[in-house]
Amino acid sequence: MGEDVKKIGRYEILDKLGQGAMGIVYKAMDPNIGRIVALKTISQSATLPEAQKKEYAARFFREAKAAGSLQHPNIVTIYDMDEDQGIPYIAMEYVEGKSLSKMIEEQGRIPWNDAVAIIKATAEGLMYAHEKGIVHRDIKPDNILIDRNGRPVVTDFGIAHLQESSLTRTGEVLGTPFFMSPEQILEGKLDARSDLFSLGVVFYLMLTGHRPFRGETISSICYHIVHTPPEQLPTDDSIPSHLMPILNKMLEKDPDRRYAGEKPLIADLEKALGGHTVMQAEVETINRPVQPETPRPQPEKQAAQPPAAPKAKPASKTPAPPPAPSVPAAPKKKSSAMPLVIIGGIAFVVFLAAVLGGGYYMYSKGFFGGKGGENIEEPPAVSEPDTGGDLPETPQVEQRIPPDDYQEPKQDTPRSGTQPSGETTQPPPVKRPVKQQEERPAVQPKEPDTPPPPTAEETKPVQTKPAKIGLVFETRISEISLTFYLDGEEKLREVYTAESGTRFTQEFRVPPGQHSIRVVVQATKFPPFIREGSFNIDLSEGGHQVIKIEPSRKPAPRLTIKKIDVITGASTTIMEK
């Protein structure tokens, strides 16, 4: 279609609104109902075969039909779709206003509260589309329109998916990747979180006036999006500090660390707007997390304290029944019985003295046996075992028999404390059990509390033979860079510019065990691309493993990583991306 087109299908062309990589947008009128619409034609590559053009048109209609089911205030409504002279087109809601990119171009930095309101409304529209299973894939300021009432609406749903098709990538590059997510650049699986990353880039651009990832070439921009954190927000008062956590979460490289959906994002944006109201009423430096102190749980505790239940309990203790039993009459009874107790005690003492005195008298007279009671005093002689000379005589004591002329002492025999004549002065020995002492070893060895000190051979450190990782980088691509990570640490970053290609080898010594490897290659010459791969290898003591990295551009950009057997030279492909 030429520039002077007057009609497409049944729609009358009124004006040309713009032109992009996907086609041309016209302002048109539907003569059947007199409605102004935006008419967008979809361009196709002239080099496409006819069969691929038909396949492309069929796919376009499927995408447009899915997007046409979206009815939301923040999404442009699709009215119609058809084909004219082999060119597919769609008729959609005409938004009278300007694009967000035009607003940023005119104003520069958008006031942060206006930016939050626009992002919040856009997120509500995206949430509705994502719930329907539709991912936009191309969120950028050009695809967010602001009408005269300040209502943001998202356009081009269903169109962006066609940009990623190989049908539109033959020999041409569609736009720049300023707002693409890392998984889009790495050609990973896309879901709603990819749109949230792109929306975060738009949010950053509105607040600062520039993009968070900048570079001089498409390749460098792609590298920063995949590997580099976003630039910090300005530290002036124009942007509240509590917006940075929201931006950081939207711009996470790993989709699993971003917002899981728009609902928690919208809740945080609402809190950010509410936090601004509090800060204006109080002090600008007050942080939003301090607000939860306002619930005031103290009044409830004070209300629970006034019940005088604790003070009422003493009233239950004050009744005088417990002290009542100790009436004064009881002490009088005890005092009247006291003399009887005293008399009984005296009588008992007298009786005890008489018994002890009589017993002592009978004892002294020998009524309890023995001669003068000396045989009773012998028990203290148990200390005989302590004398070294008495122990050998013990067998003689066992065989001793009293003499025939021995007579029992009579009652009237005087007790002078001496034995009859002819007897030794030593009282007759009495057989007593000899208390055998425990046999104790002369030296009781003690078990050592701690093990003996190690020998010199044992303390000698064990020498382990290191393993080796050989790296081989081979490619025919000129102007390509290689970044090699080993166990999370960057070990190599090189740029190769040889026109005929590059072959490079290097060896790394590592301890035995499992090691993680990550490889990133980036081709800067047109058409640029980035590929990366991660994997683990296990190395035994003294082991040797060679890894070969082969980036190539034909038949399509890809990265092949192989494992080479150092003995046979056979190769095994680890991954191909």
- β-pairing verdict for 78-84 and 24-30: unpaired
Q: What is the C-alpha separation between 573 and 577, in angstroms, rounded? A: 11
Helix, strand, or coil here: 537? strand
Residue 367 has pLDDT above 60, yes or no: no
Looking at per-residue pLDDT, the higher value among 297 and 277 belongs to 297
Q: What is the pLDDT of residue 85?
A: 83
- Nearest of 123, 43, 37, 27 to residue 76 by alpha carbon: 37
Which of 256-270, 365-379, 498-512 has maximum average pLDDT?
256-270
Share of the chain above pLDDT 90, in %: 29
Digit-coded pLDDT (tens) for 148-195: 999 999 988 755 554 444 444 433 334 458 899 999 888 778 889 999
Q: Quick count: other Cβ atoms within 10 Å of Cβ 231?
A: 14
pTM (two decimals): 0.52
Dihedral sign (CA 245, 246, 247, 249): positive
Structure tokens that stand for 448 in this block: 């050592």
Q: Would residue 254 show up in a list of annotated catalytic residues for this protein?
A: no
Q: Which residue has the tokens 């004050």?
A: 318
Which strand (E) or helix (H) includes residue 364?
helix 329-364
Q: 15, 138, 142, 256: which is the annotated catalytic residue?
A: 138
Looking at per-residue pLDDT, the higher value among 48 and 250 belongs to 250
Helix, strand, or coil here: 71? coil
Residue 63 and residue 158 in contact, taking contact as beta carbons nearer than 8 Å: yes
Q: What is the C-alpha separation between 424 and 442, in angstroms, rounded? A: 41
Residue 362 has pLDDT above 90, yes or no: no
When mean pLDDT is compared across 128-142, 259-273, 410-424, the lowest value belongs to 410-424
Task: Specify which residues 10 forms β-bridges with.
Answer: none
Helix, strand, or coil here: 253? coil
Residue 573 and residue 561 in contact, taking contact as beta carbons nearer than 8 Å: yes
Residue 340 has pLDDT above 80, yes or no: no
The full DSSP string for 151-192 is -EEE--TTTHHHHTSGGG-SS---S--TT--HHHHTT----H
pLDDT band at 47 (very low <50, low <70, confident <90, very high): low
Q: Quick count: other Cβ atoms within 10 Å of Cβ 174?
A: 15
Looking at per-residue pLDDT, the higher value among 384 and 49 belongs to 49
Digit-coded pLDDT (tens) for 115-124: 999 999 999 9
What is the 8-class DSSP label of residue 75?
B
Alpha-carbon torsion angle 156, 158, 160, 164, nearest 10: -170
Residue 391 and residue 385 in contact, taking contact as beta carbons nearer than 8 Å: yes
Q: What is the pLDDT of residue 570?
A: 83
Digit-coded pLDDT (tens) for 324-333: 444 444 444 4
Q: What is the mean pLDDT of the chain?
A: 74
Looking at per-residue pLDDT, the higher value among 90 and 353 belongs to 90
When mean pLDDT is compared across 66-80, 88-102, 214-228, 289-303, the lowest value belongs to 289-303
When mean pLDDT is compared across 49-58, 73-82, 220-229, 384-393, the lowest value belongs to 384-393
Enumerate residues 6+ apart whose C-beta is below 8 A from 181. 190, 193, 194, 197, 198, 225, 255
Digit-coded pLDDT (tens) for 447-500: 555 666 666 655 656 677 899 999 999 888 888 889 999 998 888 888 877 777
Helix, strand, or coil here: 99? strand
When mean pLDDT is compared across 231-240, 389-398, 534-543, the lowest value belongs to 389-398
Q: What is the pLDDT of residue 571?
A: 86
**In the chain, what are the domains?**
7-288 (1.10.510.10), 467-576 (2.60.40)
